[in-house]
Every structure is written in structure tokens, then in C-alpha cells.
Amino acid sequence: MKKYLPVIYALIAALLFGINAPFSKLLLKEINPLFLAALLYLGAGLGMSIIYFLKKYQKPTATEARLTKKEMPFVVLMILLDIAAPISLMIGISMTNSSTAALLGNFEIAATSVIAMIIFKEAVGKRLWLAIAFISLASIILTAGDAAAISISIGALFVLFSCIFWGFENNCTRILSIKDPLQVVMIKGVGSGLGALVIASTWGDLSAKLFYIVLALALGFVAYGLSIFFYVTAQRELGAARTSAYYAAAPFMGVVISWVVLRESISTVFLIALGFMILGACLAVTEKHKHEHIHTQELHEHRHSHNDGHHDHPHDTEITGKHSHKHTHEESEHSHEHTPDPHHRHPH
């Protein structure tokens, strides 16, 4: 069960984000799209900030590693990419049709995986590539709509740029996943939310009734805040490519929620796409990655326990359960099944 827990986290993240589309559709009747985007991010940041400080007050002893100056370049890059991606997407949508934008939006899965493999040296095997292909195919079937309406243009390029931006952002978040996910989501939400708010004040409309603003903040807390929290937690063990593959289930969750909440019908096309999605997920879950690998000597800090096979360092006093502190891993070489967790991000 422990092996599949990160997969469950990734699917929970997809389910929570799937809530976003149908409920945002209702809120867009009352709130400007740019302002709504800002409120969703701010809701995530503010909500997770409350949880972060309540948790810190109730349990002052840290079990998660805090972000340090070493991670700040990735934090800043994550926020800038989270602002740049939706801007690029909005420009693209304004210059092309919705069918093209929806279809090309699925490129984010492949972009995340390619960037993870080429730049961050994450292992992506044949089975996982096949899983990503089936999941991408499922997403394309679900979002393609009228094929005759699809066209390649400058607007389409901006949509592709947004996918690349989010692909880099997913990998930045993966690097930060070794740290406290609550803190990561808090900074991500507040930083990206404030950036989006500046954009909304320039090109959008900030007028809306307080009731709908509160609803938007609450939706942001659930669909963005809690979703990103589980996403980052899953990335810690699965890496960027695998988490992105499972997270692609979000549109399917959205369709099911739309069927329940908005009474929108489920089509035959959806069921076909769902079949490919399930096939891709099964391939990803059953992927096995095992080889002889070397753990170089490393000093770092993150949440860990002493029964996971990688943390056998001594303590002055007996410590049980999860805890966090700086510790050194001595060099070792062995072979076992593993994923791109913090101790297995070696080159291939």
C-alpha cells in the first residue's frame, strides 16, 4: 500500500483540480476571468497559510524541512512561470479557436516529461513513455472536439509556449518537493496570486460581489491549494514525469463532476477516452525501474524516518517516526526498485 500512496496522492490532486472547471464555469458569470484566476491562486495561498501557521502553533517541532536561500532561485522561477504560463495561454486563446487551444493544452504532459528527462536527468523508460502516449491520446480525444476547427497559427504557438512554461514549472516544483509542501504551496499561491492580481487590475475588471469573491477564494483553496499540496507530495516520490501523467486525469474528473453538478451528459467519446486513460494509468503504475546505482555522499535536509533503508545515521537521543534535520548520506552502491525520489535522482 505504501508503494501506491504517492499515486493516490497524485490522483487526489487531479480530483481536486477537476473541481475547478465546472465550478469556475459558474463563477465566471459573476467574476471577470482574470480576476477569478487571481482569486483562485490567492485562495490557495491564504488557505494554506492558515493551515501552515496553525500546524506550526500546535506542533512547534518541525517534521518537514523549511525552504532555504539555496532554493530561492527555483521559488522565484516557479512563481514567474506560474504567471507567464496563463498570460501566454490567454494571448493564445485570444488569437485562435478554443478547439485548438484545448488540443494543444495536452502538450503539457509531454513537455513536463521531456524537460524532466533532458534537463533534470529523470529516468523515463519505455513503459512510462507508452503510458504518457496513451494518456495524451485520451486527453486529445476528450478535448479535440471538431477536428475541422483545429488550426495552427501564431495563437497556437502561444498555447504551446504556455505548456512549455508549465512544463518547466512542474519540474521546478519537483525540485522543491523535498521541502515542506505546505510552505511551497503557500508561497506559490500568494506569489502567483499577487502577480495575477496585478495583471487583472491592468487588463481585467476587479468589481464583483463579496459573496462570489469568498466563493472563489474557497474554490482556490480546494482546487488549487489542496490539489497542489497533494501534487507536490506525490512529486516527492514519483518525480515530475510520472506525477504529470497521473495528474492528466483532472479533465476526466471535471467531466464527471460536470455531469453530477451541471447535469452535462457523458458522451461515447468520453468513455473511449477514459478507456485509454485507464490503460495509460495501469502502464504507469506497473512500471518497474531497477538497476545498480551509486548514492554519492550528500548532505541535505528533508522529512525522513530510520526504517526506509536510506537513513541509518545516529542520533544523540532515540528518535522514532518522521522527523527533519540536516543529515549526511555516506556513499553506497546497491540495486533495488526505485522511483525518482530525493535519493534516486541520479543520471541514466
pTM score: 0.76
| Residue 173 CB neighbour total at 10 angstroms | 24
Q: Identify the band that residue 138 occupies on the pLDDT scale cut at 50, 70 and 90.
A: confident
Instruction: Specify the amino acid at residue 341.
Output: D
pLDDT at position 129: 83
Structural domain of residue 328, as residue ranges? 292-337
| Distance in angstroms between the alpha carbons of the first and the last residue of the chain | 28
104 with 176, same domain: the answer is: yes
Q: What is the pLDDT of residues 141-179, one digit of tens each?
A: 766 655 555 556 687 788 888 889 988 998 988 888 888
Q: Using the predicted structure, report yes or no on whether residue 15 has a pLDDT greater than 80.
A: yes
Which residues have C-beta within 8 Å of that of residue 292, sequence separation ≥ 6? 333, 334, 335
Asked, for residue 345, whether it belongs to a domain, the answer is no
Between 285 and 51, residue with greater pLDDT = 51
Lowest mean pLDDT among 182-196, 201-215, 280-294, 322-336: 322-336
Return the residue matching grid coordinates 489542496: 226
pLDDT at position 318 over 70? no
> How far apart are alpha carbons 336 and 107 in whole angstroms?
32
**Beta-carbon neighbour count of residue 316 at 10 Å?**
5
For residue 232, pLDDT beyond 80 = yes
Residue 348 lies in a domain: no
Name 114's bridge partners: none
Across all residues in the chain, what is the average pLDDT?
77
Domain boundary among 291, 306, 326: 291
pLDDT at 28: 83
User: Which of 256, 275, 291 is a domain's end point?
Assistant: 291
Looking at the fold, whether 170 and 296 belong to one and the same domain comes out as: no
The count of structural domains within the chain is 2
Candidate ranges 29-43, 207-221, 278-292; pick with highest mean pLDDT: 207-221
Average the pLDDT over 16-37 and give the result: 83
DSSP label at 300? E
pLDDT at position 76:
92
The residue among 190, 157, 164, 195 whose CA lies nearest residue 80 is 195
145 versus 19: the higher-pLDDT residue is: 19
Per-residue 3-state assignment (H helix, E strand, C coil) for 4-65: HHHHHHHHHHHHHHHCHHHHHHHHCCCCCHHHHHHHHHHHHHHHHHHHHHHHHHHCCCCCCC
Q: Which residue has the higher pLDDT, 298 or 77?
A: 77
Verify that 236 and 316 share a domain, yes or no: no
